[in-house]
Chains A and B, each alone.
Chain A
Amino acid sequence: MEKSKKHLSDRVPVYALIWAISYIGSLGAMKVLSLSQAVSVMLTIVPVIAFALFLYKFYRSVYFMDEVQIKIQMEAAVVAFGLALLTIMTLGLLDLAIVLNQEDWAYRFLVPVFVAYYFIGLFISRRKYHIDHEEHD
């Protein structure tokens, strides 16, 4: 049981990596190659499936986390969600005030920003619970 728990949580970064590669790959292919609309739509679906799979694995791994780990993940999600809302709100209002360059502020560029927000939340939360500067005894 212990082994399967570890195995499950170890696999989450792998699924995250698969999603990231599929997203960047789809993005690059659609940007560089002149593809038909049908192929482009299919390429859009690939990272969606990869992300759904990652989300499912991540959600399942939470079940095997302990209380502190769950709280850290929850707080990281709260920070990330709050910052994501703030970004969307700011960009939405700015888009009315001044015309934003869609090449700079397209939705696709927000994805890595939101991922960064999660890691910011994770960093803050881990520091809060002294996870990053623990002593070993």
Chain B
Amino acid sequence: MKNTIKVERAKKNWTQAELAEKIGVSRQAIHAIEAGKFVPSTVLALRMAKEFGTAVEIIFQLEETDLV
């Protein structure tokens, strides 16, 4: 699963810590999600999309390896 969190953050000029605070997680969690090391729950992904004011599919996309 790839994501565009870094791009979306740059658009809003938010740091990882600021995004983390807005969606109620730790900065380490944002780092792990952004690095693709952790796939967030649906609730967290939707919360993130809401903060960015975009659709969840824009932030998270399946990769070739994720397809069955």
A71 CA to B35 CA, complexed, in Å: 16
Q: Which of B16, B24, B28, B33 has the most CB of A within 10 A?
A: B28
Known contacts A128-B37, A130-B35; A68 and B28 CB within 8 A of each other: yes
- Interchain residue pairs with CB less than 8 A apart (8): A66-B24, A66-B29, A67-B41, A68-B29, A68-B33, A69-B28, A129-B37, A134-B27
The contact size tier of chain B is: 10 to 19
Give min CB distance, B5 to chain A, whole Å: 12
A68 touches B25 (CB 8 A): yes
Q: Which residues of B contact A (CB under 8 A)?
A: 15-16, 24-29, 31-33, 35, 37-38, 40-41, 44
Give min CB distance, A66 to chain B, whole Å: 4
The contact size tier of chain A is: 10 to 19
* Selected contact of B31 from candidates A67, A69, A71, A130, CB within 8 Å: A130
* Selected contact of A67 from candidates B15, B25, B35, B37, CB within 8 Å: B25
A69 cross-chain contacts in B, Cβ below 8 A: 26, 28-29
Give min CB distance, B65 to chain A, whole Å: 18
Give min CB distance, A131 to chain B, whole Å: 5
**Which B-chain residue is minimally distant from A135 (CB atoms)?**
B31
A66 touches B37 (CB 8 A): no
Q: Which residues of A contact B (CB under 8 A)?
A: 66-69, 71, 128-131, 134-137
B29 touches A134 (CB 8 A): no
B35 cross-chain contacts in A, Cβ below 8 A: 130
B25 cross-chain contacts in A, Cβ below 8 A: 66-68
**Which A-chain residue is minimally distant from B35 (CB atoms)?**
A130
A136 CA to B16 CA, complexed, in Å: 8
A131 CA to B26 CA, complexed, in Å: 11
Known contacts A129-B37, A137-B16; A67 and B28 CB within 8 A of each other: no
B27 cross-chain contacts in A, Cβ below 8 A: 134
B16 touches A67 (CB 8 A): no
Give min CB distance, B8 to chain A, whole Å: 14
